Amino acid sequence: MNLKEMDEEYILHSYKKNYINFKRGENALLFDEDGKDYVDFTSGIGVVSVGHANAKLSSALCEQAGKVIHVSNLYLIEPQAKLAKKLVQTSGYDMRLFFANSGAEANEGAIKIARKYGEVDGEVKRYKIITLKNSFHGRTITSLKATGQEKMHSFFGPYPDGFVYADSLDDVIDKCGEKTVAVMIELIQGEGGVEPQDKQKVQKLQNELKKRDILLIVDEVQTGIYRTGELFASNLYEIEPDVITMAKGLGGGIPIGAVMTRLKDIFSYGDHGSTFGGNYLSCTAGNSVLEILENYKNSGALDEMMLYFSKKIEEIAEKFSEKIDKAVGIGFMRGFRMKSSEDLSRVIEKAFLHRVLVLKAGRNTLRFLPPLTITKEEVEMGFERLESAFKDIL
């Protein structure tokens, strides 16, 4: 039985896969069994932030694994405390954190924070949370219901009550009522089609929510950890959310998520928990990733590479305007809005054949989430191959 047969026999079929076996990686390159290289413009869907086989991250993980991997949150965890301090101080937000294992879990934590905030003397007074159409907040039952995409709610019901969907930021305040406790948004919708929100509208919304004592939750699972050029997109948008969630790029490939909030004493003992969340290994990864990316950002290299990537994006969009409506996104969270879903599927298929990995997102979008440490040479190689893929569909 070969690997493909094993996968088909023993793995639940929730992903449509390309059956390729990558044996090793090197920054933005992956190598298959035959030694062929693939330019990775996906970074494991925004996860491999410091590239494949990063020497500094690998060394930190090996060293920690040889000491302690896990003890549980019943005891002090040194790298967890250090990671929390680093995230708070670098963000500039006066907050505390809870560590989990994924973005969905981080968003579950944010929802629980909001629901508890809406209680008065143990009684539910406010519990409704407004999210946006085309949003994506996770795959658990509750975070899936928070996701503002009707197609995501076809199965798995009944769902928890209390989620209201707004068509846009302009529609949010009209949706607020006496039971509204929070608004949860992505500053750049990822799965929804690489759709940035308008900065002034976000700032205006934050001010209005403060007046109404309604929490602003920003889902930074994909936008966080320098993906948009700053530690958080919230920094880029110059706002101060009540709650921020993160995951993906924080561990560089090691599962970790976190919810960060200004409501420092919202939870009492036993209100929330995670067996694996924030353990020695995952937080060691987080500390290493932040150190690498902070130095990269401070050197000016991150901003330089983002500008270079943006330039290449615009060149391709102009060159193949017959198929591409426009380039979208910010930083290293970019995409092409394709003119047809058929062309989108075809170019993704052709890109794989030309050995460059890209992603699909909602609204006919070809999505790019490269490692933040991608080099100019890797960018050039990737777009040369993508250009060949576009030529194939003309």
pLDDT digits (tens, 9 = 90+) for 79-90: 999 999 999 999
Q: What is the pLDDT of residue 34?
A: 96
Which H, E and C letters describe the chain, residue by residue?
Answer: CCHHHHHHHHCCCCCCCCCCCEEEEEECEEEECCCCEEEECCHHHHCCCCCECCHHHHHHHHHHHCCCCCCCCCCCCHHHHHHHHHHHHHHCCCCEEEEECCHHHHHHHHHHHHHHHCEECCEECCCEEEEEECCCCCCCHHHHHHCECHHHHCCCCCCCCCEEEECCHHHHHHHCCCCEEEEEECCEECCCCCEECCHHHHHHHHHHHHHCCCEEEEECCCCCCCCCCCCCHHHHCCCCCCEEEECHHHHCCCCCEEEEECCCCCCCCCCCCCCCCCCHHHHHHHHHHHHHHHHHHHCCHHHHHHHHHHHHHHHHHHHCCCCEEEEEEECCEEEEEECCHHHHHHHHHHHHHCCEECEEECCCEEEECCCCCCCHHHHHHHHHHHHHHHHHHC
Is 219 within 8 Å of 260 (Cβ atoms)? no
Q: From 140, 136, 110, 114, select the one nearest 127 (Cα to Cα).
A: 114
Provide the whole-model pTM. Answer: 0.97
Q: Give the number of other CB atoms < 10 A from CB of residue 377.
A: 11
117 neighbors 127 (Cβ within 8 angstroms): no
Q: What is the pLDDT of residue 123?
A: 86
- Phi-psi group of 364: left, alpha or beta (phi > 0 → left; psi -120 to 50 → alpha; rest → beta): left
Tell me: pLDDT of 193 over 80: yes
Range 55-61 average pLDDT = 98
pLDDT score, position 121: 81
The pLDDT score that the predictor gives to residue 218 is 98
Confidence band of 186 (pLDDT split at 50, 70, 90): very high
Distances from the Cα of 153 to the Cα of 143, 182, 351, angstroms: 11, 21, 31
pLDDT per position as a tens digit, 117-128: 999 887 889 999
For residue 202, the model assigns a pLDDT of: 98
Share of residues in the chain with pLDDT > 90 (%): 98
* Angstrom distance (rounded) from CA 53 to CA 30: 10
Specify the higher pLDDT residue, 289 or 16.
Answer: 289
- Sorted by where each begins, the domain ranges of the chain are 3-54+300-393, 68-298
For the chain, report the end-to-end CA distance as a whole number of angstroms.
Answer: 40
The confidence score (pLDDT) of residue 363 equals 77
Please, is 201 exposed, middle or buried when counting C-beta atoms within 10 Å of its C-beta (0-12, 13-18, 19+)?
middle
Q: Are 330 and 236 in contact (CB under 8 A)?
A: yes
The distance from CA 361 to its chain's CA centroid, rounded to whole angstroms, is 13
Predicted local confidence at residue 229, as pLDDT? 98
Better-scored residue on pLDDT, 394 or 184:
184
pLDDT band per the 50, 70, 90 thresholds, residue 104 = very high
Q: Out of 53-62, 147-156, 364-373, pick the least confident.
A: 147-156
Average pLDDT score, the chain: 97
Mean pLDDT of 390-394: 94
Residue 124's pLDDT is what?
Answer: 81
Cα 348 to Cα 356: distance, rounded to the nearest angstrom: 9
CATH no. of 3-54+300-393 = 3.90.1150.10
User: How would you class 160 by CB atoms within 10 Å of its CB: exposed for 0-12, middle for 13-18, buried for 19 or more?
Assistant: middle
Residue 263 — φ and ψ, nearest 5°? -85, 75
- Domain 68-298 belongs in CATH node 3.40.630.30: no
Q: How far is CA 29 from the centre of its chain?
A: 21
